Amino acid sequence: MRRLIYFLISFFILSATAYAGEETLKFGRFGNVMIYRNSLKPSHVVLFVSGDGGWNLGVIDMAKSLSALDAIVVGIDITHYMKELRNTDEKCSYPAADFELLSKFIQKHYDFPKYEPPVLVGYSSGATLVYAVLVQAPTGTFQGAISLGFCPDLPLDRPLCRGSGLEWKSGPKGKGYSFLPFHELKTPWIALQGEIDMVCDAKATELFVKQVGEGKLISLPNVGHGFSVPKNWMPQFKEAFTGLFNKPKQMVEKSESGDISDLPVVEVMPSIPESGKRMAIMVSGDGGWAGIDRELAGALAAKGIPVAGVDSLQYFWKPKNPEIAANDLERIIKHYLNLWGKERIVIVGYSLGADVIPFMITRLSSEVSEKIELIALLGPEHTADFEFHITDWIGLSPQLNLHPLLPELKKIKNIKILCFYGDEEKDSLCRDIDIAIAKPMRLEGGHHFGGNYQFIADSILNELK
């Protein structure tokens, strides 16, 4: 994804207002956004999109109510953002990337100890946009979304990109676009809808929400489109927001080889009987454990191979070096060899994960490295960095402390290496790799391989036969 969004953000300027708890941020396509927080270290992040009236008193009060719930709230004026979308020459727009990048910048700037997937909140036309962004983004990019006063249509000049499943039809009277329900949505979306809304028909919204996977409707008697009487909707709004964080987090079991609860590891277990003594370790891209990482891990698990996934966005949020990363990888491998009773290992890395894996492998103990059967690198570049930088995404400064990847790959002996790349990728190391070092695997598409994750999983398994 890094390659796709260099052009999205041109600048950022931070300036504090006269009173504590509120600041103004100017950031790329979003223009001036407002920052609300009630504490120096809030636990949650909210990206709040206004309606067509812009960032005014109504949405300000909504935003402040969430900042009181231990959140930093970023107020976005949809009128400015939509104008910026109209001024591009893109065939389709991908706002999910804009919103994700804004969240990452905010959290880096305010020195969050770890990355928190943000909640999307929108009112009126903003309610529509946050639904579209949620559906467009890979699963796991956002914590969830809340729409207040939802209609399915937006007055866009050009379509939004499909992304992970966004579909649409022509809008009312042929103007703009009306989004369709996404049956396979796996991230919570909550619509708070007034029963006396004269702008967005409550019955139509109810029917729409029922067709959305993970969709939930909160019907509000005595509430119109203006949400003018807080007592009629504010309690439900706050409850919907706090409910997004009530899901129990996955707990990583302890094993005799030690505790790894300090590491951002996700377990993906097979849905069929496990096949033999093999397991996989997957290191994600810098987008975190989302999209391709989840899909590929699921494809391997569907073949009977349990997967321990490392969330690179979380892990490299704070600086690491090759030695630290290798030590943590060894801890993870030993933990799951013991816990799952396995003897052989497949190592998979995507994007940033593919860049760093060779440096980790060459620093493992021989006891562990001799159990590795195969390494699959997906979309590696020519260099690796062991820290997530917001400037990596927006191209504002040159990268420092980069480690050349090819010399490290040459150090790996007696382990089969596959190097996957999309035929639209021009800067992948796989294009230049000697077959004596790694086997190039060309797929159609760009950095996400056209979504052909099953082919990648099958290719990995075929090499192991």
pLDDT, one tens digit per residue, over 369-427 is: 999 999 999 999 998 888 766 655 554 445 567 889 999 999 999 999 999 999 888 88
Q: Is residue 255 part of a domain?
A: no
- Residue 94: the pLDDT is 94
Identify the band that residue 250 occupies on the pLDDT scale cut at 50, 70 and 90: low
Q: How far apart are CA 59 and CA 74, in angstroms?
A: 11
Are residues 328 and 219 both part of a single domain?
Answer: no
Are residues 234 and 97 both part of a single domain?
Answer: yes
- Residue 392: the pLDDT is 56
The domain total for the chain is 2
Kindly report the number of other CB atoms within 10 A of residue 67's CB atom. 22
Of 211, 243, 275, which marks where a domain is finished? 243
Domain enclosing residue 281, as ranges = 265-464
Identify the band that residue 248 occupies on the pLDDT scale cut at 50, 70 and 90: low
What CATH number did the domain enclosing 226 receive? 3.40.50.1820
Name the CA dihedral angle for 105, 106, 108, 109, rounded to a multiple of 10 degrees.
110
Kindly report the number of other CB atoms within 10 A of residue 21's CB atom. 13
Q: How do residues 92-133 score in pLDDT, each as one tens digit?
A: 999 999 999 999 999 998 999 999 999 999 999 999 999 999
Q: Let me know: does 152 contact 179? Beta carbons within 8 Å.
A: yes
- Residue 389: the pLDDT is 66
DSSP string spanning 322-368?
A: HHHHHHHHHHHHHHHHHHHT--EEEEEEETHHHHHHHHHHTTS-HHH
Are residues 45 and 93 both part of a single domain?
Answer: yes
By three-state DSSP, how is residue 211 classified?
A: coil
What the block records as the tokens of 92 is: 């389709």
Output the average pLDDT for the chain: 89
User: What's the N-to-C CA distance of the chain in angstroms?
Assistant: 32
Kindly report the number of other CB atoms within 10 A of residue 273's CB atom. 6
Q: How do residues 148-188 score in pLDDT, each as one tens digit?
A: 999 999 999 899 999 999 999 988 878 899 999 999 999 99
| Number of residues assigned to the chain | 465
Q: Let me know: does 84 contact 78? Beta carbons within 8 Å.
A: no
Q: Check pLDDT > 60 for residue 16.
A: no
Contacts of 458 (CB under 8 A, 6+ apart): none
- Residue 465: the pLDDT is 76
Are residues 291 and 396 both part of a single domain?
Answer: yes
Sign of CA pseudo-dihedral 410, 415, 416, 420: negative
Are residues 386 and 421 both part of a single domain?
Answer: yes
Are residues 14 and 99 both part of a single domain?
Answer: yes
Are residues 108 and 41 both part of a single domain?
Answer: yes
Q: How do residues 286-328 score in pLDDT, each as one tens digit?
A: 889 988 899 899 999 998 999 999 999 999 998 899 999 999 9
DSSP string spanning 22-53?
A: EEEEEEGGG-EEEEE-SSSS-SEEEEEE--TT
What the block records as the tokens of 128 is: 């529509």
Q: How far apart are CA 66 and CA 320, in angstroms?
A: 34
Of 213, 243, 273, which marks where a domain is finished? 243
Question: Average of pLDDT values for 71-76?
Answer: 98
Are residues 140 and 15 both part of a single domain?
Answer: yes
Question: What proportions of the chain, in percent to the nearest 5, are helix, strand and coil?
Answer: 35, 25, 45
Are residues 103 and 162 both part of a single domain?
Answer: yes
Q: Check pLDDT > 90 for residue 11.
A: no
Of 243, 273, 307, which marks where a domain is finished? 243
Q: Is residue 102 part of a domain?
A: yes
Are residues 54 and 173 both part of a single domain?
Answer: yes
Q: Let me know: does 106 contact 56? Beta carbons within 8 Å.
A: no
Question: Average of pLDDT values for 186-202?
Answer: 97
What separation in angstroms does the CA of 204 have from each of 87, 151, 201?
Answer: 32, 8, 5
Q: Is residue 333 part of a domain?
A: yes
Q: Check pLDDT > 90 for residue 48.
A: yes
What separation in angstroms does the CA of 394 have from each of 77, 98, 389, 439?
Answer: 22, 11, 9, 32
Q: Check pLDDT > 80 for residue 284.
A: yes
Q: How far apart are CA 419 and CA 182, in angstroms?
A: 34
Burial of 84 (0-12, 13-18, 19+ CB in 10 A): middle
- Residue 249: the pLDDT is 57
Letter string b/e over residues 372-397, b meaning 16 or more CB atoms within 10 A of that residue's CB: bbbbbbbbbbeebbbebbbebbbeee
Question: Average of pLDDT values for 264-286?
Answer: 89
Q: Is residue 87 part of a domain?
A: yes
Q: Is residue 256 part of a domain?
A: no
Q: Check pLDDT > 80 for residue 15.
A: no
Q: Let me know: does 238 contact 67? Beta carbons within 8 Å.
A: no
Are residues 66 and 180 both part of a single domain?
Answer: yes
Q: Is residue 259 part of a domain?
A: no
By three-state DSSP, how is residue 123 classified?
A: strand
Q: Is residue 250 part of a domain?
A: no
What single DSSP character describes residue 98? H
- Residue 10: the pLDDT is 40
- Residue 300: the pLDDT is 93
pLDDT > 90 fraction of the chain, expressed in percent and rounded: 71
What the block records as the tokens of 52 is: 């067509």
Are residues 175 and 287 both part of a single domain?
Answer: no
Q: Is residue 200 part of a domain?
A: yes
